A and B are shown apart, each in its own frame.
Chain A
């Protein structure tokens, strides 16, 4: 028998655990945007060594599962004498992993702009900085918004993997709940509902932003 009482009681602790899920996802995407922008700049730079570094960065991080990256990072840090809290390790790993995807999102958006957009600016004598900040980036950001929101939704789901390094986010919290209540089905369905709720909100935010920036 499905116990509605257990189902509803699970929400309290799981909502509490959801702060970690959100914290890891939001900080992860923030870090991912910062690093991803730098990687994208390196990828588009005129310097072959920088370009090669960025290409390797992207293909390595996209080619290794996040779970493995997390474990490697988590166990590698103490080896090189860095003792960081699990939370920091998790955010940094998620952010680095996201940076590969975000750099590709930027690159795709920039490549999608017609060449004439920058040419028109160059032709009237704008500086490279103005060409980027006034013409290319504003359009690239708008073009990328749906993909960035999508990436954030992926991160919310991927953050369940950080349970392996002991962070009590939604997934790990529900495992704990399931173990103490012996009602895994109710607990996991409650967890599923919370993930769904978060991601529906993000999708709605995405539609709102897209609508607002449409011209």
Chain B
């Protein structure tokens, strides 16, 4: 298992034209820990997460992975595509909509990055892909195309695709939000295993149970601000900020019956 990365965000700002989606974000993500981000829709959780692998370009501030600035060599000087790709190689990302490639089988989906990016031989890549699929409990599905898999299985293939690259950091953007409720558990359990192995994970989620039990810290966002980052207990059970209280009240009302 490769070492786990840390992430430091300092005064990160992001604009969509005039609209400010991220406001002076300061966030430390320690290596080997799980950080969950919660908050209302449109608060900037995805934007923040996507700044970490520079899928979204932040406008000012710094995002450092293991001390190394991502996206820029200096303020206003973009990093070369090659260096950016090198950094992205060790950052896995899992999307809400899975984003598996439908024209490839599960194994091909996982092997593709190994072959193209890591330049591993086809045979080795297939072997590693099979291992990664076995790890997420899908050894028997390696020859299936995504359209033949359930949502939970597709998301597990997507996780296998990311972990096969041996990342030191994993980003999850609402990995279970597109799933039927009965399929959420299988994905969360894979994520829990990863967390147990000491992977640095940043997880945008509405699964408060996962945040409460697995996260080492929870960040609450609203209107582009990271309102508070603290232990799961302090955020989820004893929140002081009225904005968090009101968000959790809405959440509990929606989930009670």
Name A residues whose Cβ lies closer than 8 Å to a Cβ of B: 114, 116-117, 119-128, 130, 134-135, 138-139, 142, 215
Contacts and interface: CB of A to CB of B under 8 A. Distances in A.
Interface in B5-31: none
A120 B85 contact: no
B137 interface: no
A200 B34 CA distance: 60
A119 B101 CA distance: 11
Contact of B116 (A123, A130, A138, A139): A130
28 contacts: A114-B97, A117-B99, A117-B101, A119-B55, A120-B95, A120-B99, A120-B101, A121-B112, A122-B88, A123-B55, A123-B88, A123-B92, A123-B93, A124-B89, A124-B161, A124-B162, A124-B165, A125-B86, A125-B88, A125-B113, A125-B165, A126-B85, A126-B113, A127-B81, A128-B81, A130-B117, A138-B103, A139-B101
Contact of A124 (B103, B113, B145): B113
A122 B99 contact: no
Contacts of A127: 81, 85, 116
A119 B147 CA distance: 19
A142 B92 CA distance: 28
B199 interface: no
A124 B55 contact: no
A154 B18 CA distance: 47
B124 to A, nearest CB: 17
B53 interface: yes
A134 B112 contact: yes
Contact of A119 (B99, B117, B162): B99
Nearest to A142: B103
Contacts of A126: 85, 113, 116-117
Interface string B96-138: 0101111100000000110011000000000000000000000
Interface in B39-97: 53, 55, 81, 85-86, 88-89, 91-93, 95, 97
A9 B93 CA distance: 68
B55 A122 contact: yes
A114 B97 CA distance: 10
A117 B101 CA distance: 7
B197 to A, nearest CB: 20
Nearest to A124: B113
A121 B117 CA distance: 10
Given A124-B89, A125-B88, A215-B103, 20 more contacts: A116-B95, A116-B99, A120-B93, A120-B161, A122-B55, A122-B88, A123-B88, A123-B91, A124-B162, A124-B165, A125-B85, A125-B113, A126-B85, A127-B116, A130-B116, A130-B117, A134-B112, A139-B103, A215-B145, A215-B147
A120 to B, nearest CB: 4
Contacts of A117: 99, 101
Contacts of B55: 119, 122-123
A141 B91 CA distance: 30
Contacts of B95: 116, 119-120
B114 to A, nearest CB: 9
Most buried by A among B93, B95, B100, B103: B103
